[in-house]
């Protein structure tokens, strides 16, 4: 029996699919598959729970040691290995029946926000020019947490011709996330734009109308400045296609970027053979037609996007240009021919970059425009060389953007030191200790450590750390963490408990906080091993009534002041959704799903009626009132009528409800059993 399990979209949740299986005694529906995400949680399973450390809110004292295993990456890992997980740690007591209000996660001009870690966030920024949101990921500056009133310059990092729609090549292929972890810039990573050259196109192609110059220079900056504490001091780096774009974007928008860097870019687009070369490359990378971008080569737009022709507009911009020679270098696999790499395409592309970069540099020299130019003696068109150039360019980037080249020295001490030393996967510290609400914190390359006398010393990392940031961190409704990250007994997920709630994560569902009475009822049912499974959404207010709802893998948990917290799941949940959820005549659930009853059935009680389900009859509602009372007089589903097989329906002069072995009519206020 297959069914679609619809989570409460009336309250803004999601839809997942239910798989076919035999019903169990714990749910009215078959098992469901949770929505997948592209990000994986950094693992930090605790094998010893630290003792609470005596401390003040400004400096930590020594605790007992916490040991965790090394984490996987936060975005690209596919498998994880953990030590045998301990049972769930004791959860904190609920402060009130209703969860405290969650922080407003919305950002003006942004249709979706996803925190990947506490210092990396994905934004789907609205683009009126393109008619659709465009994803940008931001790696936040080193002092983002430690100095909440500070603002930071921006470094745009542009991808290559084969840019992916899920993640920037810079974070897939290089150590950019680790490298910039101790740098005081907000790193801006546009995600997508395959073959776009980050420009405004004349016509749509492949269902996309790229208007990326408008997006990057006009639509994105207000979002960064108003909501992500970013200044108008900017630099731009790009590789290959992105290198070309970095130079012409800086030239076409004088003063917008203080630094522009090209790594293996094509710095002349109109010279002999280049339009044809770009057409070939764009056709190969996504099947795009170059004429849809700038028209035929005779169109003035080609010259307007040629870094060589626009070079004079780069006066006053700090410039960095690099390319290899195309010969096999230290990061290449050598073929049978000396000096020739097995990366044959990369050889040709790098030679093309070298020739155009040399012409461009010569033009700059004639114009008296200074530039740092690095012609490498070897190297092909490939990521290891661009990572190398990213490192090499940093001192010039830092100087142009007005930030220090080297991070200030930091050390660890007090209660944080032994926890940091026991968890080397956190990487080195990037800040000193700084005060947070109720305690202190310290940032590391791969996570944070929190300490207070009331909660001990705890590690937060990965997407759980990101969800904590989205919830407002220590000053938000969760308070401070009371455990480090732990593995769930089923081996699927990870969690941290906090003073006023918990955050649970799986690779499929992502990280979500569970709080208040909803968390209490979920815990009573067995946490993630209970009938609902893991949370797949955040707690939100029901849109038209005083209440709250949170989606889980197998249903949802509802709360209202008069009914408390109760779950609805499986095919009963599907029926509830078809009727309009809490906005229907049923109202809120008054109890969590009950059963098993006759023939393996289940039922849920609502404010104004019930929904009954069994494998043979399906799920149907029955109102409180004369028909329900008459059915009850016969023993409900255990009596001679059996289960409902339809909802109450009108008949001439009244209404009727059908059951497995008969019906009940209601005419003139009198219920009759047939």
Say which of 99, 195, 199, 240 is annotated catalytic: 240
- Tell me if 455 sits within 8 A of 440, measured CB to CB: no
Q: For residue 159, give the nearest of 136, 182, 142 by alpha carbon.
A: 136
Tokens read off for 579: 């009727």
Q: Is 650 exposed, middle or buried (0-12, 13-18, 19+ CB in 10 A)?
A: exposed
The Cα–Cα gap between 402 and 421 comes to: 33
**What is the per-residue burial (b if ≥16 Cβ within 10 Å, else e) of 387-424?**
bbbbebbbebbbebbebeeebeebebebbbbbbbebbe
CB atoms within 10 A of CB 616: 11
- Tell me if 378 sits within 8 A of 325, measured CB to CB: yes
Tokens read off for 594: 């009950």
- Tell me if 422 sits within 8 A of 29, measured CB to CB: no
Tokens read off for 302: 């080609």
Q: For residue 553, give the nearest of 573, 533, 569 by alpha carbon.
A: 533
Q: Is 52 exposed, middle or buried (0-12, 13-18, 19+ CB in 10 A)?
A: middle
Coil, strand, or helix at residue 200? Answer: strand
Establish whether 350 is a catalytic residue.
yes
Say which of 28, 305, 323, 381 is annotated catalytic: 381
- Tell me if 196 sits within 8 A of 292, measured CB to CB: no
The Cα–Cα gap between 482 and 88 comes to: 12
Q: Is 87 exposed, middle or buried (0-12, 13-18, 19+ CB in 10 A)?
A: exposed
CA angle 538, 540, 545 (to 5 degrees): 155
Q: For residue 607, give the nearest of 547, 539, 520, 651 by alpha carbon.
A: 547
Say which of 173, 219, 350, 389 is annotated catalytic: 350
Q: For residue 277, give the nearest of 230, 209, 225, 345 by alpha carbon.
A: 345
The Cα–Cα gap between 158 and 237 comes to: 6
Q: For residue 185, give the nearest of 391, 398, 387 by alpha carbon.
A: 398
Establish whether 637 is a catalytic residue.
no
The Cα–Cα gap between 418 and 487 comes to: 21
Scan for tokens 């399973």, then name that residue. 45
* Cis preceding-peptide flag for 596 (omega within 30 of 0): yes
Q: For residue 461, give the nearest of 475, 450, 452 by alpha carbon.
A: 450
CB atoms within 10 A of CB 13: 21
The Cα–Cα gap between 68 and 424 comes to: 9
DSSP 617-644: TEEEEEESSHHHHHHHHTTGGGSTT-SB
Residues labelled catalytic? 240, 350, 381
């Amino acid at each position: 029996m297959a069914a679609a399990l619809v989570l409460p979209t009336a309250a803004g949740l999601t839809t997942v699919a239910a798989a076919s299986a035999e019903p169990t005694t714990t749910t009215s529906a078959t098992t469901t598959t949770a929505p997948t995400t592209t990000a994986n949680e950094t693992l930090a399973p605790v094998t010893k729970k630290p003792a609470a450390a005596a401390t003040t809110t400004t400096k930590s004292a020594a605790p007992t040691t916490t040991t965790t295993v090394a984490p996987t990456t936060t975005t690209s890992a596919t498998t994880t290995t953990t030590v045998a997980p301990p049972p769930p740690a004791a959860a904190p007591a609920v402060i009130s029946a209703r969860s405290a209000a969650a922080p407003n996660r919305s950002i003006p001009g942004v249709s979706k926000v996803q925190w990947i870690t506490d210092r990396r966030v994905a934004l789907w920024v609205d683009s009126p020019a393109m008619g659709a949101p465009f994803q940008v990921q931001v790696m936040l500056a080193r002092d983002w947490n430690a100095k909440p009133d500070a603002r930071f310059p921006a470094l745009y990092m542009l991808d290559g011709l084969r840019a992916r729609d899920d993640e920037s090549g810079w974070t897939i292929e290089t150590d950019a996330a680790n490298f910039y972890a101790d740098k005081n810039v907000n790193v801006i990573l546009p995600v997508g734009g395959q073959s776009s050259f980050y420009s405004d196109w004349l016509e749509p192609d492949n269902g996309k109308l790229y208007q990326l110059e408008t997006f990057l220079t006009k639509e994105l900056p207000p979002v960064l400045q108003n909501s992500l504490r970013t200044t108008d001091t900017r630099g731009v780096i790009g590789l290959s296609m992105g290198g070309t774009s970095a130079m012409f974007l800086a030239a076409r928008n004088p003063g917008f970027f203080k630094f522009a860097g090209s790594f293996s870019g094509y710095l002349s687009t109109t010279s002999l053979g280049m339009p044809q070369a770009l057409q070939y490359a764009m056709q190969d990378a996504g099947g795009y037609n170059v004429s849809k971008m700038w028209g035929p080569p005779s169109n003035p737009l080609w010259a307007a996007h040629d870094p060589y022709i626009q070079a004079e507009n780069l006066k006053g911009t700090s410039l960095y240009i690099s390319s290899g020679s195309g010969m096999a270098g230290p990061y290449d696999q050598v073929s049978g021919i000396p000096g020739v790499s097995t990366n044959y395409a990369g050889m040709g592309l790098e030679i093309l970059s070298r020739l155009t970069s040399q012409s461009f540099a010569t033009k700059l020299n004639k114009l008296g425009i200074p530039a740092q130019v690095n012609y490498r003696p070897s190297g092909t068109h490939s990521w290891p060389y661009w990572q190398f150039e990213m490192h090499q360019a940093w001192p010039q980037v830092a100087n142009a953007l007005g930030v220090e080249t080297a991070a200030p020295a930091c050390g660890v001490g007090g209660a944080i030191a032994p926890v940091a030393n026991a968890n080397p996967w956190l990487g080195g510290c990037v800040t000193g200790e700084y005060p947070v609400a109720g305690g202190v914190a310290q940032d590391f390359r791969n996570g944070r450590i929190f300490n207070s006398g009331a909660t001990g010393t705890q590690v937060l990392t990965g997407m759980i750390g990101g969800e904590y940031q989205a919830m407002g961190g220590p000053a938000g409704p969760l308070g401070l963490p009371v455990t480090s990250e732990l593995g769930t007994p089923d081996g699927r997920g990870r969690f941290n408990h906090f003073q006023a709630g918990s955050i649970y994560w799986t690779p499929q569902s992502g990280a979500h906080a569970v709080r208040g009475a909803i968390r209490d009822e979920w815990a009573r049912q067995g946490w993630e091993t209970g009938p609902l499974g893991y949370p797949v959404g955040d707690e939100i207010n029901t849109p038209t009534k005083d209440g709250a709802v949170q989606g889980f893998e197998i249903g949802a948990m509802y709360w209202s002041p008069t009914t408390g917290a109760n779950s609805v799941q499986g095919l009963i949940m599907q029926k509830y959704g078809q009727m309009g959820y809490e906005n229907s005549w049923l109202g809120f659930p008054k109890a969590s799903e009950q059963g098993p009853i006759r023939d393996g059935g289940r039922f849920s009680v609502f404010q104004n009626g019930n929904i009954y389900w069994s494998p043979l009859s399906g799920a149907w509602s029955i109102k409180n009132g004369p028909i329900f009372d008459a059915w009850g007089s016969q023993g409900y589903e255990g009596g001679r009528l059996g289960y409902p097989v339809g909802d109450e329906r009108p008949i001439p002069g009244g209404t009727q409800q059908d059951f497995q072995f008969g019906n009940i009519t209601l005419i003139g206020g009198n219920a009759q059993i047939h």
